[in-house]
């Protein structure tokens, strides 16, 4: 059950990330994880789109690439940072964004134990998928302005990218 709506302030959350640096381009380095919290979003306009998993079909082919392709469009609409969120570990998310050529256009966030998405009511049990996916973030997008939700797009079917996609979020800005 979704516990957040437009107009709400998001609950506090803790995340892990491996920030992009040119040293990571050789793929021989992993980077060092950093921690950040929802305090990083204060006073800013941010877009957060959540994916069930890095390197999974819809996430890899249909969700992340349009956000990277439209990064300048988001900036032109006043977005300070675009984040991709998943419960994958920060090393996997860093590797995924590097394989996708995202560089510093998008910051990847690990939703540790899906705790933040659980607080939002935005998780999916994908145990029945038959491939061991377990509890995941569901597919959604948020626009936050000083930690207040101004857009929320939650996919009814987490294999689809419609209301959480880059084009839908851009249209709502």
Residue 166 domain-assigned? Answer: yes
Q: Domain range spanning residue 39?
A: 14-172
Name the domain count of the chain. 1
Question: Is 70 within the bounds of a domain?
Answer: yes
Residue 75 lies in a domain: yes
Judge whether 5 lies within some domain.
no
Would you please indicate which residues are annotated as catalytic (active-site) residues?
A: 59
pLDDT value for 137: 85
Which of 160, 169, 171 is CA-nearest to residue 47? 169
CATH number of 142's domain: 3.40.30.10
Predicted TM-score (pTM) of the model is 0.91
The pLDDT tens digits along the chain (173 residues) read 888 999 999 999 999 999 888 787 777 777 788 999 999 999 999 999 999 878 776 777 788 899 999 999 999 999 999 999 999 889 888 988 888 888 889 999 999 889 999 999 998 766 666 666 657 688 899 999 999 999 999 999 888 899 999 999 999 99
Residue 4, in any domain of the structure = no
In a domain, 8, yes or no: no
Summarize the chain as % helix, strand, coil (round to 5): 35, 25, 40
In a domain, 103, yes or no: yes
């Amino acid at each position: 059950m979704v516990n957040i709506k437009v107009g709400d302030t998001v609950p506090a959350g803790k995340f892990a990330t491996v920030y992009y640096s040119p040293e990571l381009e050789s793929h021989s380095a992993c980077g060092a994880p950093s921690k950040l919290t929802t305090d990083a979003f204060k006073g800013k306009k941010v877009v957060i789109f959540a994916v069930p998993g890095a390197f999974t079909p819809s996430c890899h082919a249909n969700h992340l690439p349009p956000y990277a392709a439209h990064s300048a469009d988001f900036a032109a609409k006043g977005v300070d940072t675009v984040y991709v969120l998943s419960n994958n570990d920060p090393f996997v998310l860093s590797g995924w964004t590097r394989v996708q050529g995202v560089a510093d256009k998008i910051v990847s966030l690990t939703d540790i134990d899906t705790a933040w998405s659980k607080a939002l009511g935005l998780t999916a049990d994908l145990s029945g998928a038959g491939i061991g996916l377990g509890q995941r973030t569901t597919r959604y997008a948020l626009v936050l302005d000083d930690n207040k939700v101004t857009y929320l797009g939650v996919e009814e079917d987490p294999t689809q990218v419609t209301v959480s996609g880059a084009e839908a979020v851009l249209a709502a800005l």
